[in-house]
Amino acid sequence: MPPKYCLKKDNQIFKKDYRRLFLFFDFDGTLVPIQNNPAECSLSPKVRDQLKKIALSGSASIAVLSGRSLPDIRKRVQIKGIYYGGNHGLEISGPRIRFIHPEAKSFKHTIDRVYKSIAKATRNFQGVFIEKKNLSFTLHYRMANKENKALVRHIFHKIISEEFAGHAFKVIKGKKVLELAPDVLWDKGRAALFILQRLNMDYLPVYVGDDLTDETAFRALKENGITIRIGRSQKTEAQYYLKGHWEILQFLKTIYDIIQRWAIQ
């Protein structure tokens, strides 16, 4: 079934018998627009203020799950008392939770070696750069020309399959990015469930994201929660959609209005 538009006035999606939400957000493409250079992404003051109001309401908890490193995503959001997941949830921090996936640590040395090899092989390509993280790295090629995009992807896969044959990695494809991560049974969906289970409270989970990596969370939460994709698609497992990241502020205002009404009922 194709997703329904999330901000219709007659929407009944928050009419379930809950009085507490757990809001999960992707970062790039969801809370902020995607930039050619991810270092230029920053949370707008209006979105940050609205997130703070929701977090302080007592009726909702918030988590930001990102492919970025944990220190990077915390620095860019800068809201105390919420949950942060870096490396697609391999690292999580927040109230009562400090977590690093135990199996992922064993991959770090080899992934660092792959990083050095790919960085050397792609260093002369204009518009291509690598984002190094604690447990993984991401090759960005959005700003490269069309011919170099294809060549850089080829180099990435060739090095992994030839120089590091026999090693188990997970390649995560995104929007003009390739990420090399530990080959462990973990993703944003499992990270979201882990947080909910660790806190052991009666929340209605709501997940908002825009990328292929967010589909794991849509699948994990759609039976018992609300899943929302940024951008309409017939191929998503999300139940609802927002037209684009520019609607996230209105969505947050709608959430805040709902929990305010709950408080006076």
Q: Which residues participate in catalysis according to the annotation?
A: 26
Cβ(182)–Cβ(107) below 8 Å:
yes
The 3-state DSSP composition of the chain as helix, strand, coil percent (nearest 5) reads 40, 25, 40
Give Cα separations from 131 to 37, 54, 75, 193, 228 (angstroms).
10, 31, 16, 27, 27
Number of Cβ atoms within 10 Å of the Cβ of 154: 10
**What are the tokens at 28?**
């790039």
Q: What angle do CA 129, 131, 136 make, to 5 degrees?
A: 130
- What are the strands, taking DSSP E only, across the chain? 4-5, 21-25, 60-65, 83-86, 91-94, 97-100, 129-132, 137-140, 169-174, 177-182, 204-209, 226-230, 240-242
Max intra-chain CA distance, the chain: 63
Handedness of CA 76, 217, 90, 183 (dihedral sign): negative
